[in-house]
Structure 1
């Protein structure tokens, strides 16, 4: 008899059983696109449909996903609506650049994010996590914190330390609020985007975000200027980090100063955001799964007591890693990957079914629906970290799980993020328990990333038998 408790099913929109009207589509896309999708999106391998007379192919089949993102990736560019939303913020940053500009930037940054180089950040990640954990010691036992805000602060501290040597020029303590404001104001669909209005047409919903975007641009400019002065005074003494690497690439054969600024903004404004959201959702799901939490705590205690180097924790804490990966499945930080076909294309499934993709067709690959798809997952809406334990993950197709995308544009920081998450979870859960309260009532909302509406207020308490100095 299976004595395991029923898995926790975290909050998410129920698939629509009736297609939305045109007005409902507009309202839902503007408020929360995650609530738009109907039963077919969670049960069929692909769907051909139309949005505002524009032909769209919604793709869930792993083989077809591979075709679009890998095998014939050169035929698929970023979709127009995605660029209308993101380019005003990031311009030619790595997430939005295309063609030669993207290739040049990706090649320039790749050395920093190789698995080997990322492992070199482990000690800094550990130190910043331990420093941040002190916050809960200083502010009282059993106090309630908004964990979604806290994880943004923590991941920003780690990003700042590892990639910028702690030298990002910020002058306020409300950075988390600024990030949320930037994504809320600037990272949402505007009615003009749906109508494919040119970029110069004002987007009323984003007017309020221009101030905070200007603030981020100012942070980037000051950070660059301060480091350039250090390099000018004494090149050998300047930190040899991501920031210095980018600045050294300036020139006719490298990156323009504008491209460098755009990429720094991309990492400061969004580089830590995806990990922060996934960490918060992990702590929330674990708090509602006591049997999972018990296994994670036992694993963390054993590995940390052994004195293992943090660079090895990713491999030595399979349950911690699995819980984070399961949270990434249920709440993918990037819930949609939007492409558009450049030329006519065709794909044939193993059972002989053909899919024709005409030039100009929008292709939606949505980790949100793919990760909850009934064809590919057992109990797809449930939090079940055991799916990702080493003995089970072989049954997961590479292209049915896309928290970091796939193909040439796969997230450059995937290894960095996985290592950071395991180290942060281990440090926090070694010392504390994170529990839900009656006010913990999150609802997933798509604002570029999958964020919790209403925040994630959680009660933080010391674990019994663990001293405040435990590490």
Structure 2
């Protein structure tokens, strides 16, 4: 008889059984879009309806997703609603740029994220993770692990991509990033209605001070590095920041585009990994039968393998748990596109100006694609099971030409961070641990994730 406990089912909104009214829809989308989706979104290959902002297509079928994101990607641009939300924050950063601007940015950044460079980041990632873990030595107890993972990934980002030279104070950074996503990261009702950009959004107005804070950090950081490059061109670190600044020129990036891409990586690049790490620690705490073999795996690997570049491949159980957390709580829960020309996919007509939503949130929980989709089952991603997962049913980093450029960076970072943290400490939930997933650009835990941190025996 199998005495293994039933899989842990982490918190998530229940699919709606009836469509909301227009006013209710606007309220839900502003408060938490994850609560909007009904049973068809988790059961049908696609849905085509007319919403308050015009035609809407929800794509869940892996073949349709591949068609939109890869096979016919040239016919799809970034969706109008998505751009109305993100462009005020990121402007011409890699996530929001299109056309030649996007091509220039992608080309300028590609050398940073080659396998060789990513392996080179492993030791700095390890260094910052060890330093961060030491904070729990003097103050074991209950901490907000969501906040802490934001601080850890900020430290890693600063050390790897900026060689530790980011202007500003890390503590205020964590507070401000939360406020930024709370304000400017929300969908404004005027966005849903596709109102002109010149109409003021209340959400944007509330976030202007925070946005100015981030712009100042980036401006000061760039100025510090420019001065260093002038003083000692050969002595400046050859990191992400230097590479971008050297890409400035008539055939490269403008100074504004460089600033926008730094904002993108500071604001969004570290945030996604932070959220996934926090959700992973939460899920493992609620499923100790999954956590115990992972702790054993981490202990064994760390005892025999000092090279952190080898850990990702050497820790399949740890990696599987993190990937399962990414499935249940995809950091980017929605990928939005809009057709340039109308077209057909099988018997689906995709009209002009339709909002085409590829939502990892629903695709990752789809009843026809996953067994027990709402449960935390890391075994789905064990090496012997990975081939059963279609490339286009699992999209934590997107797909196609605009796939996340930092995916390999994030995976290496996550495994190193989990290995360091879980080798020294155990993270357990407490009575106050009641996280609720809320979409504010990323999938965030409303109220944080309070957890008790204790040294492992």
1:11 is matched with 11
After TM superposition, the score normalised by the length of structure 1 is 0.96
* 1:292 to 2:290 alignment: yes
Q: Which among 369, 372, 381 is matched to residue 374 of structure 2?
A: 381
Number of paired residues? Answer: 457
Per the TM alignment, residue 53 of structure 1 is displaced from its structure 2 partner at its CA by: 5.4
1:128-147 alpha-carbon deviations (Å, 9 max, x no partner): 000000010021x3x10000
1:225-240, aligned counterparts within 5 Å?
A: 225-240=223-238
1:360 to 1:122, Cα distance in 2 relative to 1, 3 A: same
1:391-426 alpha-carbon deviations (Å, 9 max, x no partner): 001000000000000000000000000000000000
Q: CA contact under 8 A between 2:367 and 2:373: conserved in structure 1?
A: yes
* 1:79 to 2:72 alignment: no
Gapped regions of structure 1 (runs ≥ 5): 349-353, 465-471
Distance 1:438 1:86 in 2: 36
2:333 is matched with 335
1:459 is matched with 452
1:94 is matched with 94
Secondary structure of 1:50's counterpart equals strand
Q: Which among 355, 365, 380 is matched to residue 358 of structure 2?
A: 365
Gapped regions of structure 2 (runs ≥ 5): none
Secondary structure of 1:129's counterpart equals helix
Q: Which among 236, 257, 263 is matched to residue 259 of structure 1?
A: 257
Per the TM alignment, residue 269 of structure 1 is displaced from its structure 2 partner at its CA by: 1.2
Secondary structure of 1:173's counterpart equals helix
Which segment is superposed worse, 255-264 or 114-123? Answer: 114-123
Per the TM alignment, residue 358 of structure 1 is displaced from its structure 2 partner at its CA by: 2.2
1:213 is matched with 211
After TM superposition, the score normalised by the length of structure 2 is 0.99
Q: Which among 289, 313, 316 is matched to residue 314 of structure 2?
A: 316
Which segment is superposed worse, 452-461 or 53-62? Answer: 53-62
* 1:43 to 2:40 alignment: no
Distance 1:119 1:183 in 2: 31
Per the TM alignment, residue 205 of structure 1 is displaced from its structure 2 partner at its CA by: 2.0
Q: CA contact under 8 A between 2:151 and 2:171: conserved in structure 1?
A: no
2:30 is matched with 30
Q: CA contact under 8 A between 2:311 and 2:415: conserved in structure 1?
A: yes
Distance 2:150 2:207 in 1: 19
* 1:57 to 2:50 alignment: no
* 1:437 to 2:437 alignment: no
Per the TM alignment, residue 355 of structure 1 is displaced from its structure 2 partner at its CA by: 1.7
Per the TM alignment, residue 172 of structure 1 is displaced from its structure 2 partner at its CA by: 5.7
Secondary structure of 2:8's counterpart equals coil
Distance 1:172 1:75 in 2: 41
1:134-165 alpha-carbon deviations (Å, 9 max, x no partner): 010021x3x10000000000000000000000
- Supply the RMSD in Å over aligned alpha carbons: 0.9
1:467 is matched with none
Per the TM alignment, residue 4 of structure 1 is displaced from its structure 2 partner at its CA by: 1.9
Per the TM alignment, residue 200 of structure 1 is displaced from its structure 2 partner at its CA by: 1.6
* 1:69 to 2:91 alignment: no
